[in-house]
Protein backbone atom coordinates (compact mmCIF):
# COMPACT_ATOMS: atom_id res chain seq x y z
CA UNK A 1 0.00 0.00 0.00
CA UNK A 2 1.10 3.54 -0.74
CA UNK A 3 -0.05 6.52 1.32
CA UNK A 4 -0.62 10.24 0.90
CA UNK A 5 0.44 12.42 3.81
CA UNK A 6 -2.38 14.77 4.88
CA UNK A 7 -1.91 18.31 6.19
CA UNK A 8 -2.53 16.80 9.65
CA UNK A 9 0.51 14.51 9.14
CA UNK A 10 -1.74 11.42 9.10
CA UNK A 11 -1.27 8.91 6.27
CA UNK A 12 -4.24 8.18 4.03
CA UNK A 13 -3.99 4.78 2.26
CA UNK A 14 -4.12 5.25 -1.50
CA UNK A 15 -6.77 2.55 -1.94
CA UNK A 16 -9.97 3.03 0.04
CA UNK A 17 -12.96 0.70 0.19
CA UNK A 18 -16.25 2.51 -0.52
CA UNK A 19 -19.70 1.36 0.56
CA UNK A 20 -22.03 3.56 -1.52
CA UNK A 21 -25.14 1.65 -2.66
CA UNK A 22 -24.51 -1.33 -0.37
CA UNK A 23 -27.84 -0.74 1.30
CA UNK A 24 -28.62 -4.18 2.73
CA UNK A 25 -27.37 -4.24 6.33
CA UNK A 26 -25.97 -7.78 6.38
CA UNK A 27 -24.41 -7.44 2.94
CA UNK A 28 -22.66 -4.25 4.04
CA UNK A 29 -21.35 -5.90 7.23
CA UNK A 30 -19.98 -8.79 5.13
CA UNK A 31 -18.44 -6.51 2.50
CA UNK A 32 -16.60 -4.29 4.97
CA UNK A 33 -15.44 -7.30 7.00
CA UNK A 34 -14.20 -9.05 3.83
CA UNK A 35 -12.53 -5.88 2.60
CA UNK A 36 -10.58 -5.57 5.86
CA UNK A 37 -9.62 -9.25 5.60
CA UNK A 38 -8.52 -8.62 2.00
CA UNK A 39 -6.15 -5.90 3.21
CA UNK A 40 -8.11 -2.64 3.00
CA UNK A 41 -7.42 -0.33 5.92
CA UNK A 42 -9.42 2.72 4.80
CA UNK A 43 -13.23 2.60 4.61
CA UNK A 44 -15.40 5.34 3.08
CA UNK A 45 -19.02 5.67 4.20
CA UNK A 46 -21.45 8.60 4.59
CA UNK A 47 -24.50 9.47 6.66
CA UNK A 48 -26.50 9.58 3.44
CA UNK A 49 -25.56 6.00 2.46
CA UNK A 50 -27.62 4.69 5.39
CA UNK A 51 -24.96 2.12 6.23
CA UNK A 52 -22.79 3.71 8.93
CA UNK A 53 -24.26 1.27 11.48
CA UNK A 54 -23.42 -1.77 9.33
CA UNK A 55 -19.95 -0.38 8.60
CA UNK A 56 -19.36 0.10 12.32
CA UNK A 57 -20.50 -3.44 13.09
CA UNK A 58 -18.05 -4.86 10.55
CA UNK A 59 -15.21 -2.76 11.96
CA UNK A 60 -15.96 -4.00 15.48
CA UNK A 61 -16.14 -7.61 14.26
CA UNK A 62 -12.79 -7.33 12.44
CA UNK A 63 -11.19 -5.85 15.57
CA UNK A 64 -12.73 -8.49 17.87
CA UNK A 65 -11.61 -11.28 15.51
CA UNK A 66 -8.05 -9.92 15.65
CA UNK A 67 -7.62 -8.94 11.99
CA UNK A 68 -6.88 -5.33 12.75
CA UNK A 69 -6.73 -2.71 15.50
CA UNK A 70 -8.71 0.53 15.50
CA UNK A 71 -5.45 2.47 15.17
CA UNK A 72 -4.61 0.61 11.93
CA UNK A 73 -7.91 1.62 10.34
CA UNK A 74 -8.73 4.89 8.60
CA UNK A 75 -12.48 5.54 8.77
CA UNK A 76 -14.10 8.22 6.65
CA UNK A 77 -17.67 9.50 6.80
CA UNK A 78 -19.54 12.52 5.47
CA UNK A 79 -22.06 15.09 6.63
CA UNK A 80 -25.20 15.26 4.54
CA UNK A 81 -26.62 18.56 3.15
CA UNK A 82 -29.69 18.38 5.44
CA UNK A 83 -27.35 18.79 8.41
CA UNK A 84 -25.40 21.66 6.88
CA UNK A 85 -27.99 24.26 7.92
CA UNK A 86 -26.13 25.81 10.83
CA UNK A 87 -23.51 25.15 13.52
CA UNK A 88 -25.86 23.21 15.79
CA UNK A 89 -27.26 20.87 13.10
CA UNK A 90 -23.71 20.18 11.93
CA UNK A 91 -22.48 19.47 15.44
CA UNK A 92 -25.35 17.03 15.96
CA UNK A 93 -24.56 15.28 12.67
CA UNK A 94 -20.99 14.59 13.83
CA UNK A 95 -22.25 13.00 17.04
CA UNK A 96 -24.85 10.97 15.14
CA UNK A 97 -22.26 9.60 12.70
CA UNK A 98 -19.95 8.62 15.57
CA UNK A 99 -22.83 6.92 17.40
CA UNK A 100 -24.00 5.07 14.28
CA UNK A 101 -20.46 3.82 13.63
CA UNK A 102 -19.89 3.03 17.32
CA UNK A 103 -16.61 4.95 17.23
CA UNK A 104 -15.08 7.54 19.54
CA UNK A 105 -13.33 9.35 16.68
CA UNK A 106 -13.27 9.50 12.89
CA UNK A 107 -10.03 9.61 10.91
CA UNK A 108 -11.59 11.90 8.31
CA UNK A 109 -14.95 13.62 8.07
CA UNK A 110 -16.11 15.42 4.94
CA UNK A 111 -18.83 17.83 3.90
CA UNK A 112 -20.60 15.69 1.31
CA UNK A 113 -21.48 18.55 -1.05
CA UNK A 114 -20.70 22.25 -1.48
CA UNK A 115 -24.33 22.94 -0.64
CA UNK A 116 -26.36 24.36 2.22
CA UNK A 117 -24.57 26.56 4.73
CA UNK A 118 -21.25 24.86 4.18
CA UNK A 119 -19.11 27.56 5.81
CA UNK A 120 -21.03 27.46 9.10
CA UNK A 121 -21.22 23.66 9.09
CA UNK A 122 -17.46 23.55 8.60
CA UNK A 123 -16.94 25.66 11.72
CA UNK A 124 -18.55 22.85 13.75
CA UNK A 125 -16.16 20.43 12.05
CA UNK A 126 -13.17 22.69 12.85
CA UNK A 127 -14.19 22.68 16.53
CA UNK A 128 -14.63 18.87 16.54
CA UNK A 129 -11.17 18.63 14.94
CA UNK A 130 -9.70 20.80 17.72
CA UNK A 131 -11.42 18.55 20.30
CA UNK A 132 -9.79 15.52 18.66
CA UNK A 133 -12.96 13.63 17.76
CA UNK A 134 -12.35 14.31 14.05
CA UNK A 135 -8.68 13.58 13.30
CA UNK A 136 -8.94 15.29 9.91
CA UNK A 137 -11.64 17.31 8.15
CA UNK A 138 -12.30 17.92 4.49
CA UNK A 139 -14.79 18.34 1.71
CA UNK A 140 -16.30 16.48 -1.21
CA UNK A 141 -17.58 17.58 -4.61
CA UNK A 142 -15.91 20.99 -4.33
CA UNK A 143 -15.12 22.13 -7.87
CA UNK A 144 -11.90 24.17 -8.36
CA UNK A 145 -13.26 27.73 -7.97
CA UNK A 146 -15.41 26.71 -4.98
CA UNK A 147 -12.47 24.97 -3.33
CA UNK A 148 -10.19 27.97 -3.90
CA UNK A 149 -12.74 30.35 -2.35
CA UNK A 150 -13.23 27.94 0.56
CA UNK A 151 -9.50 27.56 1.25
CA UNK A 152 -9.08 31.35 1.13
CA UNK A 153 -11.69 31.80 3.86
CA UNK A 154 -11.56 28.92 6.35
CA UNK A 155 -9.29 28.62 9.37
CA UNK A 156 -8.33 24.97 8.76
CA UNK A 157 -7.55 24.00 5.16
CA UNK A 158 -9.45 20.82 4.20
CA UNK A 159 -7.17 17.77 4.35
CA UNK A 160 -9.00 16.10 1.45
CA UNK A 161 -11.38 16.90 -1.39
CA UNK A 162 -13.24 13.79 -2.56
CA UNK A 163 -14.38 14.20 -6.16
CA UNK A 164 -15.21 12.09 -9.19
CA UNK A 165 -11.89 11.06 -10.77
CA UNK A 166 -11.38 8.28 -13.32
CA UNK A 167 -10.00 8.04 -16.87
CA UNK A 168 -13.20 9.48 -18.38
CA UNK A 169 -13.20 12.46 -15.99
CA UNK A 170 -9.57 13.37 -15.32
CA UNK A 171 -10.19 16.86 -13.81
CA UNK A 172 -6.62 18.18 -14.19
CA UNK A 173 -7.55 21.69 -12.95
CA UNK A 174 -9.09 20.21 -9.81
CA UNK A 175 -5.84 18.35 -9.06
CA UNK A 176 -3.78 21.49 -9.72
CA UNK A 177 -5.98 23.55 -7.38
CA UNK A 178 -5.78 20.92 -4.64
CA UNK A 179 -2.02 20.71 -5.02
CA UNK A 180 -1.78 24.51 -4.66
CA UNK A 181 -3.65 24.44 -1.33
CA UNK A 182 -2.12 21.20 -0.02
CA UNK A 183 -5.43 19.33 -0.25
CA UNK A 184 -5.13 15.60 -1.01
CA UNK A 185 -7.37 14.35 -3.83
CA UNK A 186 -9.60 11.37 -3.07
CA UNK A 187 -11.33 9.84 -6.09
CA UNK A 188 -14.90 8.67 -5.87
CA UNK A 189 -16.15 6.22 -8.51
CA UNK A 190 -12.55 5.42 -9.37
CA UNK A 191 -13.95 2.80 -11.77
CA UNK A 192 -16.52 5.23 -13.21
CA UNK A 193 -19.24 3.10 -11.56
CA UNK A 194 -18.62 0.68 -14.45
CA UNK A 195 -19.86 3.24 -17.00
CA UNK A 196 -18.49 3.99 -20.46
CA UNK A 197 -17.40 0.38 -21.01
CA UNK A 198 -14.45 0.87 -18.64
CA UNK A 199 -13.89 -2.85 -18.06
CA UNK A 200 -13.61 -3.55 -21.81
CA UNK A 201 -11.98 -0.30 -22.86
CA UNK A 202 -9.52 -1.02 -25.71
CA UNK A 203 -6.68 1.16 -24.36
CA UNK A 204 -7.00 0.01 -20.75
CA UNK A 205 -7.20 -3.66 -21.77
CA UNK A 206 -4.21 -3.34 -24.11
CA UNK A 207 -2.05 -1.60 -21.50
CA UNK A 208 -3.14 -4.16 -18.90
CA UNK A 209 -2.10 -7.08 -21.11
CA UNK A 210 1.49 -5.81 -21.03
CA UNK A 211 1.56 -6.08 -17.21
CA UNK A 212 -0.81 -9.03 -16.71
CA UNK A 213 -3.35 -6.65 -15.15
CA UNK A 214 -7.05 -5.98 -15.76
CA UNK A 215 -8.49 -2.76 -17.20
CA UNK A 216 -9.79 -1.96 -13.70
CA UNK A 217 -6.29 -2.27 -12.23
CA UNK A 218 -4.84 -0.04 -14.97
CA UNK A 219 -7.52 2.62 -14.38
CA UNK A 220 -6.82 2.60 -10.63
CA UNK A 221 -3.04 2.62 -11.12
CA UNK A 222 -3.32 5.68 -13.38
CA UNK A 223 -4.93 7.66 -10.56
CA UNK A 224 -2.42 6.34 -8.00
CA UNK A 225 0.46 7.63 -10.13
CA UNK A 226 -1.27 11.03 -10.34
CA UNK A 227 -1.14 11.16 -6.52
CA UNK A 228 -4.84 10.40 -6.13
CA UNK A 229 -6.23 8.16 -3.37
CA UNK A 230 -8.82 5.93 -5.04
CA UNK A 231 -12.14 4.95 -3.49
CA UNK A 232 -13.49 1.79 -5.04
CA UNK A 233 -16.41 -0.47 -4.23
CA UNK A 234 -17.04 -4.14 -4.89
CA UNK A 235 -19.31 -6.64 -3.21
CA UNK A 236 -17.15 -9.50 -4.54
CA UNK A 237 -14.09 -10.71 -2.64
CA UNK A 238 -12.11 -11.53 -5.80
CA UNK A 239 -12.63 -8.00 -7.13
CA UNK A 240 -11.76 -6.49 -3.74
CA UNK A 241 -8.42 -8.32 -3.97
CA UNK A 242 -7.94 -7.34 -7.62
CA UNK A 243 -8.57 -3.65 -6.92
CA UNK A 244 -5.94 -3.49 -4.19
CA UNK A 245 -3.32 -5.48 -6.13
CA UNK A 246 -1.94 -2.48 -8.01
CA UNK A 247 1.38 -1.76 -6.36
CA UNK A 248 3.62 -4.18 -8.27
CA UNK A 249 3.64 -2.39 -11.63
CA UNK A 250 4.09 1.13 -13.00
CA UNK A 251 2.63 2.81 -16.06
CA UNK A 252 5.04 4.63 -18.37
CA UNK A 253 4.66 8.35 -19.03
CA UNK A 254 3.31 7.55 -22.48
CA UNK A 255 0.69 5.18 -21.01
CA UNK A 256 -0.28 7.78 -18.40
CA UNK A 257 -0.81 10.37 -21.16
CA UNK A 258 -2.71 7.92 -23.33
CA UNK A 259 -5.15 7.30 -20.47
CA UNK A 260 -5.43 11.00 -19.57
CA UNK A 261 -6.44 11.77 -23.17
CA UNK A 262 -9.54 9.60 -22.73
CA UNK A 263 -11.18 12.21 -20.48
CA UNK A 264 -14.54 13.50 -21.68
CA UNK A 265 -14.13 16.55 -19.42
CA UNK A 266 -17.60 16.08 -17.96
CA UNK A 267 -19.31 13.60 -15.68
CA UNK A 268 -21.54 10.87 -17.05
CA UNK A 269 -22.67 10.07 -13.51
CA UNK A 270 -23.95 13.33 -12.03
CA UNK A 271 -24.28 16.94 -13.19
CA UNK A 272 -23.46 19.18 -10.25
CA UNK A 273 -24.07 22.25 -12.42
CA UNK A 274 -27.77 21.42 -12.88
CA UNK A 275 -29.86 23.75 -10.63
CA UNK A 276 -32.61 21.12 -10.38
CA UNK A 277 -30.14 18.60 -8.98
CA UNK A 278 -28.90 21.15 -6.44
CA UNK A 279 -32.49 21.83 -5.33
CA UNK A 280 -33.20 18.08 -5.19
CA UNK A 281 -30.16 17.36 -3.01
CA UNK A 282 -31.03 20.29 -0.72
CA UNK A 283 -34.44 18.72 -0.14
CA UNK A 284 -33.23 15.14 0.21
CA UNK A 285 -33.76 14.34 3.88
CA UNK A 286 -32.07 11.37 5.51
CA UNK A 287 -33.75 11.83 8.89
CA UNK A 288 -36.68 13.69 10.51
Q: Please list the active-site residues.
A: 49
If one asks whether residue 5 binds ligand NAP (CB under 6 A), the answer comes out as: no
Enumerate the H helices of the chain as residue ranges: 25-38, 52-64, 87-101, 118-131, 144-153, 172-181, 202-211, 215-225, 237-244, 253-260, 275-283
- What would the x/- binding string for ligand NAP be over residues 165 to 204, using CB under 6 A? -----------------------xxxxxxx----x-----
Near ligand NAP by CB under 6 A: residue from 2, 11, 20, 181: 20
- What would the x/- binding string for ligand NAP be over residues 237 to 256, using CB under 6 A? --x--xx-------------
Position closest to ligand NAP via CB: 18
- What would the x/- binding string for ligand NAP be over residues 36 to 75, using CB under 6 A? --------x-------------------------------
d(CA 273, CA 282): 14
d(CA 144, CA 63): 38
Near ligand NAP by CB under 6 A: residue from 51, 55, 82, 234: 234
Nearer CB in complex with ligand NAP: 90/220: 220
- Which DSSP symbol is given to 265? S
Nearer CB in complex with ligand NAP: 162/171: 162
What is the b/e burial string over 79-98, where b = at least 16 CB atoms within 10 angstroms of the residue's CB? Answer: bbbbbbeeeebbbebbebbb
Which H or E element spans position 44? strand 42-44
Alpha carbon 215 to its chain's center = 21
If one asks whether residue 97 binds ligand NAP (CB under 6 A), the answer comes out as: no
Smallest distance from ligand NAP to CB 66, Å: 26
DSSP string, 95-157: HHHHHHHT-S-BSEEEESSS-SSHHHHHHHHHHHHHHTSBS-EEEES--HHHHHHHHHH-SS-
Looking at 12-20, 59-67, 129-137, 252-260, which segment touches ligand NAP (CB under 6 A)? Answer: 12-20
If one asks whether residue 8 binds ligand NAP (CB under 6 A), the answer comes out as: no
- 74-79 vs 108-111, strand pairing mode: parallel
If one asks whether residue 162 binds ligand NAP (CB under 6 A), the answer comes out as: yes
Looking at 17-25, 34-42, 59-67, 121-129, which segment touches ligand NAP (CB under 6 A)? Answer: 17-25
Say if CB 142 and CB 172 are below 8 A apart.
no
Residues that bind ligand NAP (CB under 6 A): 18-20, 44, 140-141, 162, 188-194, 199, 216, 231-236, 239, 242-243
Amino acid sequence: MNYRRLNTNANLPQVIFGVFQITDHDECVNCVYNAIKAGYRAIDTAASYGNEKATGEAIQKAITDGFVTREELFIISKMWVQDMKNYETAKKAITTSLNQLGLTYLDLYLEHQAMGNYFEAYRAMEDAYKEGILKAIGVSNFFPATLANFCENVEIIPAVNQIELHPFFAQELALKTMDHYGVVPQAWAALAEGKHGIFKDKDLVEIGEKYGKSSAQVALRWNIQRGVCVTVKSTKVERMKENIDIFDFSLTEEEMNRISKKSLDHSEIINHFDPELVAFLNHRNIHD
